[in-house]
Structure 1
Amino acid sequence: MHSPLSRSNPDKPALVDGHDQYTYSQVDLEVQRFASGILANAEDLNEERIAFLIPASPEYVTVMHGIWRAGGIAIPLNTASAEAELEHCLTSTSVKRLVAVAPFLERIRPLCDKLAIVLSSVAELLSDNLKPMPELSADRRALIIFTSGTTSLPKGVVTTHKNIKAQITTLVDAWAWSENDAIPLFLPLHHVHGIINVLSCALWAGATVHLMQKLDIEKLCAEAVKGTYNLFMAVPTIYVKLIDHLESLDAATAQPIKAAFGAMRLNVSGSAACPVAIFEAWQQLTGQVLLERYGMTEIGMALSNPYVGERRAGYVGQPFPGVTVQLFSEDHQPVTEASASGEIRIKSDTVFLEYWNNPKATMDSFRDGWFCTGDIAVIEEGYFRIMGRSSIDIIKSGGYKLSALEIEGKLLAHPAIAEIAVLGVEDRTWGESVAAVVVLREGQTLDIDTLKTWCEGKLSSYKLPKKLVIIPELPRNAMGKVVKPKLKALF
């Protein structure tokens, strides 16, 4: 797999960037020019790790695919990262070359100088002297994506060409991608959701990707009304922003936007649990039944509600074809009892090769050939429901194992609550007690007693929050996941 770029319709637009369009043949030529330039006098990059700091743009595609074609390992960096985070990514992978575009070129230059990394612009590396490309085996390393690092320092997740192909083809088949599809891309491109689920699936299928360097809700809605997109993938926080935007408009302005989203063939939500209230609000506004799925940097996508069939609010569906999923108990036995919870473990060609230069972490994450996700789930009527991360979202209180995600979903329906994070805090009596960190809606107030009263009949007594802290905003990572360890200090 030189690079997963469709060649079925060379004159079709692959990328749209503002007023500019780039056909598949134009993209392919730029990739070839970049690959030739970065090879210079070599015949093969031989898995050299090359980092790049580029937002959603044609240059991003040129560089990532060019590195792949030339036999290198692509390391996309987060354009919003602080310097210390970038330094961790670069030093842990021993990067010697970095490619960037303005304004990131000047921003990253001092760090590159400090680490003796050769910094280049994309234009500098484009060559008109096109070279033959090396033959690449499927098992060759292709990509290092860093984990979101919500519980520890980000780890470099290494995927091979075989892994990437499996991740893409799984989704292209399951979600019926075709060259007739058009999708906006505003998700961060240092993460599997943006790289694989949107960009790579689209380019594999011969679809058109509309690039947005940052999310602009009004522009997105205006393009949707024009019928620009028939496919939409986002994280729950973006659906919240869209719902708030639609509810702020008068009926005549909102109606065509609702109809436009309703006319799309598919709306997907992922990267964080979608609260049932958001699922239902979106359905009520647009008629779209969100397709929620489950995946990780290490495994691509593993579970999904069906493209054709019942999509259940609060559930992430069933395993994709070719992905074997099993729940395991704390003593590593397969869970066979109906509705009993267990850790999700995965076997599939989509599962990553290793954590870069971290054999201990790699070994610890596998058991008997299964990748251990650390996520706890139950299976109810054949559909998986995620209870949360074993280390963060499972609260062990008075002999019960409580799902923080379930409690968050219930409390989010409170009229005063805009956002919420539920976590377990140390408690002498209960082991852990339920604590809630809340962002209030404008002009609202809330205290723990009022919240407990409101919860009567909605939550079992042992699930009620015993502590409440109100803050102006929740700490989130680039994919919109709340960084819960930062909230522990509030208690």
Structure 2
Amino acid sequence: MITLIERANSFSERIAIKSDGQNYTYNRLLEQSASVAAYLLQDQKDLNEARIAFLVPASFSYAAVQWGIWRAGGIAVPLCEKHPLPSIQYVLEDTKATTVIYTEAFEELLSPLFKSTNIQFLKYADITPKKCELPTITLDRRALILYTSGTTGLPKGVVTTHANIEAQITALTTSWEWNKNDHVLNVLPLHHVHGIINMLSCALWSGACCEFLPKFSPKAIFDIFSKDALNIFMAVPTIYFKLITYFNELPQNEQLAISDHLSKFRLMVSGSAALPVSVLEEWKDISGHTLLERYGMTEMGMAISNPYNGTRRPGHIGQPLHGVSIRLADENNNAVAVGEQGEIQIKGPNVFKEYWGKPDATAETFTQDGWFKSGDIAIFDIDSYQILGRNSVDIIKSGGYKISALEIEEVLRTHPNIKDCGVVGIPDLEWGEIIGASIILKFGELSTDDLTSWIQEKLPAYKTPRRFVFQDDLPRNVMGKVTKNEIKKLFI
């Protein structure tokens, strides 16, 4: 059985989710997810790992749909609210999704696909209360496909089983001492492991409350903080940067009041990108909290964390989480000596099953003895790991997202006036990195405004280059390979 859902019966009258101004109990979540499951099953006994995509805002409805898919035996494929139609269509085609559940807010966006595909589109509002016998789901079944960019360019579907998810949840609930009296504010996208596992699933596993704020606003966040209901907050460095900026513009009396509210939290976490030490120090001055940095990926959930109880060292990610094994290895996958840098490699029940439909890519990312190769370089320094960087210049970490430069380059090259291009990450205090693109034109000129407008029809906003440089040719080495570090120098 799915332990996460079974545990909800022990918390039936407690508030599971706060969203859209309403409180929803665990019992309500169980009832609504059962109706979703029954509606999906129709006359079937089991969805047998059919891929069910859904485009639903961060809310009680999201949780009910996710659980409903799982309870019917399907694989949940959450879609990103901010993605343009081509990005959504790619996921639907890659997973061969049979059904898409959506809310009215996304009807216009999805409408071009209603008649052009064989996918069943189901409006969430049309799901009526319904009961049927639900299948027994074993933990070894595939549960979730989340998309992540890799060095192959196009996003890959990361497949996790119910057992993987349970391991990811228990690693965090054990290490961070989650309990039923916790109350977390979830402001992150729910097509990403940070929002889905670290906050929503950990809260629901623990009998705690997960509150949603669908639209980001520093003022709205501080207003919720002032109610003294929350005791856990997690965000990416970009959000902390924005909160600090807003805080610094407030009158001193409001600042003092906010600091008093923040001092009552038990845990504040930063992740999904490197946290600048300056941001950590400024937030500590504001809140009294040293942000807990942790390290993870879509492929494994969280793997390393600074201690909940103990010293948190700026610029470090801490020690392995409960149940996770870590080693640093050289380019031949041999463990390096303490004090030497190496690639972070992970082994444990938290590690994903496969990349959807890509057996070669799956095999390439594991060593022969079963270690997952993260691609991140680190060193073990005194008592904790410190990230040194990527072993590939083609992965850009911006605002909590891991973005493939190769994917953006492929899109740019489809422009009728672009001959070639090179995309790089540019260091940025607020975003971690922003995207820069070196453009080689076929003829004439091209304004950056026109190019930006064109790209935004093809890619999500967070994948859109923020800075451009136009060159006669790209810098290359003697082998003809583009030297991206030389491109970076043009921006820095």
TM-score (norm 1): 0.81
The answer for the alignment partner of 2:143 in structure 1 is 142
The answer for the alignment partner of 2:317 in structure 1 is 316
Q: Secondary structure at the match of 2:376?
A: strand
The answer for the alignment partner of 1:37 in structure 2 is 39
Report which structure shows greater RCO (CA 8 Å, sep ≥6).
Answer: 2
Deviation of the 1:39 alpha carbon? 0.6
CA-based RMSD of the aligned residues comes to 2.9
Distance across 2 between alignment mates of 1:150 and 1:173: 33
Equivalence map 1:428-447=2 (5 Å):
437=426
Q: Please say if residues 2 and 138 of structure 2, whose CA atoms lie closer than 8 Å, have aligned partners that are also in contact.
A: no
The answer for the alignment partner of 1:339 in structure 2 is 339
Q: Which amino acid aligns with 1:315?
A: H
The answer for the alignment partner of 2:125 in structure 1 is 123
The total of aligned residue pairs comes to: 423
Of 11, 14, 18 in structure 2, the residue corresponding to residue 12 of structure 1 is: 14
Q: Please say if residues 148 and 154 of structure 1, whose CA atoms lie closer than 8 Å, have aligned partners that are also in contact.
A: yes
Deviation of the 1:286 alpha carbon? 1.2
- Over 3 Å counting, the alpha-carbon distance change for 1:289 and 1:151 in structure 2 is farther
- Over 3 Å counting, the alpha-carbon distance change for 1:171 and 1:436 in structure 2 is closer
Q: Which amino acid aligns with 2:365?
A: S
Distance across 1 between alignment mates of 2:218 and 2:164: 34
Q: Which amino acid aligns with 1:212?
A: L
Distance across 1 between alignment mates of 2:90 and 2:223: 40
The answer for the alignment partner of 2:478 in structure 1 is none
1:270 has 2:267 as partner: no
- Over 3 Å counting, the alpha-carbon distance change for 1:107 and 1:150 in structure 2 is farther
The answer for the alignment partner of 2:376 in structure 1 is 375
Cα deviations by residue, 1:441-491 (Å, 9 ceiling, x for unpaired): 9xxxxxxxxxxxxxxxxxxxxxxxxxxxxx9x9x99989799899995674
Of 102, 109, 119 in structure 2, the residue corresponding to residue 100 of structure 1 is: 102
Q: Please say if residues 282 and 289 of structure 1, whose CA atoms lie closer than 8 Å, have aligned partners that are also in contact.
A: yes
Deviation of the 1:249 alpha carbon? 0.7
Cα deviations by residue, 1:206-231 (Å, 9 ceiling, x for unpaired): 11111111212111101111102100
- Over 3 Å counting, the alpha-carbon distance change for 1:304 and 1:242 in structure 2 is same
Equivalence map 1:295-314=2 (5 Å):
295-314=296-315
Q: Please say if residues 16 and 210 of structure 1, whose CA atoms lie closer than 8 Å, have aligned partners that are also in contact.
A: yes
Q: Secondary structure at the match of 2:115?
A: helix
1:194 has 2:195 as partner: yes
Deviation of the 1:45 alpha carbon? 0.4
Q: Please say if residues 376 and 388 of structure 1, whose CA atoms lie closer than 8 Å, have aligned partners that are also in contact.
A: yes
The answer for the alignment partner of 2:479 in structure 1 is none
- Over 3 Å counting, the alpha-carbon distance change for 1:328 and 1:44 in structure 2 is same
Equivalence map 1:111-260=2 (5 Å):
111-128=113-130, 130-148=131-149, 152-260=153-261
Q: Please say if residues 76 and 145 of structure 1, whose CA atoms lie closer than 8 Å, have aligned partners that are also in contact.
A: yes
Q: Secondary structure at the match of 1:103?
A: helix
Q: Please say if residues 17 and 211 of structure 1, whose CA atoms lie closer than 8 Å, have aligned partners that are also in contact.
A: yes
Q: Please say if residues 172 and 322 of structure 2, whose CA atoms lie closer than 8 Å, have aligned partners that are also in contact.
A: no
Q: Which amino acid aligns with 2:157?
A: G
Q: Secondary structure at the match of 1:213?
A: coil
Q: Please say if residues 180 and 206 of structure 2, whose CA atoms lie closer than 8 Å, have aligned partners that are also in contact.
A: yes
Deviation of the 1:18 alpha carbon? 3.1
Q: Please say if residues 183 and 232 of structure 2, whose CA atoms lie closer than 8 Å, have aligned partners that are also in contact.
A: yes
Deviation of the 1:198 alpha carbon? 0.4
Deviation of the 1:69 alpha carbon? 0.5
1:23 has 2:25 as partner: yes
Deviation of the 1:140 alpha carbon? 0.5
Deviation of the 1:20 alpha carbon? 0.9
Which 10-residue stretch deviates more, 36-45 or 254-263?
A: 254-263
Distance across 2 between alignment mates of 1:151 and 1:387: 22
Deviation of the 1:263 alpha carbon? 1.3
Distance across 1 between alignment mates of 2:463 and 2:248: 24
The answer for the alignment partner of 2:351 in structure 1 is 351
- Over 3 Å counting, the alpha-carbon distance change for 1:184 and 1:436 in structure 2 is closer
Q: Which amino acid aligns with 1:74?
A: A
Deviation of the 1:360 alpha carbon? 0.7
Give the share of equivalent positions with the same residue, in percent. 43
Q: Secondary structure at the match of 2:76?
A: strand
The answer for the alignment partner of 2:364 in structure 1 is 364
1:91 has 2:93 as partner: yes
Q: Please say if residues 100 and 121 of structure 1, whose CA atoms lie closer than 8 Å, have aligned partners that are also in contact.
A: yes
- Over 3 Å counting, the alpha-carbon distance change for 1:151 and 1:80 in structure 2 is farther
Deviation of the 1:331 alpha carbon? 2.4
Q: Which amino acid aligns with 1:122?
A: Y
Distance across 2 between alignment mates of 1:261 and 1:299: 30
Q: Please say if residues 311 and 317 of structure 1, whose CA atoms lie closer than 8 Å, have aligned partners that are also in contact.
A: yes
Distance across 1 between alignment mates of 2:17 and 2:220: 17
Q: Please say if residues 146 and 157 of structure 1, whose CA atoms lie closer than 8 Å, have aligned partners that are also in contact.
A: yes
Distance across 2 between alignment mates of 1:151 and 1:246: 41
Deviation of the 1:71 alpha carbon? 0.5
Cα deviations by residue, 1:66-108 (Å, 9 ceiling, x for unpaired): 0001100000000101111111111111112100001112311
1:327 has 2:318 as partner: no
Distance across 1 between alignment mates of 2:352 and 2:181: 30
Q: Secondary structure at the match of 1:366?
A: coil
- Over 3 Å counting, the alpha-carbon distance change for 1:370 and 1:212 in structure 2 is same
Q: Secondary structure at the match of 2:116?
A: helix
Of 33, 48, 51 in structure 1, the residue corresponding to residue 50 of structure 2 is: 48
Distance across 1 between alignment mates of 2:114 and 2:360: 29
Deviation of the 1:138 alpha carbon? 1.2
Q: Which amino acid aligns with 2:373?
A: C
Q: Please say if residues 182 and 208 of structure 1, whose CA atoms lie closer than 8 Å, have aligned partners that are also in contact.
A: yes
Q: Please say if residues 84 and 460 of structure 2, whose CA atoms lie closer than 8 Å, have aligned partners that are also in contact.
A: no
Q: Which amino acid aligns with 2:94?
A: S
Q: Secondary structure at the match of 1:139?
A: coil
Deviation of the 1:148 alpha carbon? 4.2
TM-score (norm 2): 0.81
Q: Which amino acid aligns with 2:75?
A: I
Distance across 2 between alignment mates of 1:312 and 1:71: 43
The answer for the alignment partner of 1:419 in structure 2 is none
The answer for the alignment partner of 2:419 in structure 1 is none
Q: Secondary structure at the match of 1:51?
A: strand
The answer for the alignment partner of 2:71 in structure 1 is 69
Deviation of the 1:294 alpha carbon? 0.1
Q: Please say if residues 32 and 129 of structure 2, whose CA atoms lie closer than 8 Å, have aligned partners that are also in contact.
A: no
Cα deviations by residue, 1:357-399 (Å, 9 ceiling, x for unpaired): 00010000001200000010011002100112110289xxxxx
Q: Please say if residues 387 and 393 of structure 1, whose CA atoms lie closer than 8 Å, have aligned partners that are also in contact.
A: no
- Over 3 Å counting, the alpha-carbon distance change for 1:81 and 1:482 in structure 2 is closer
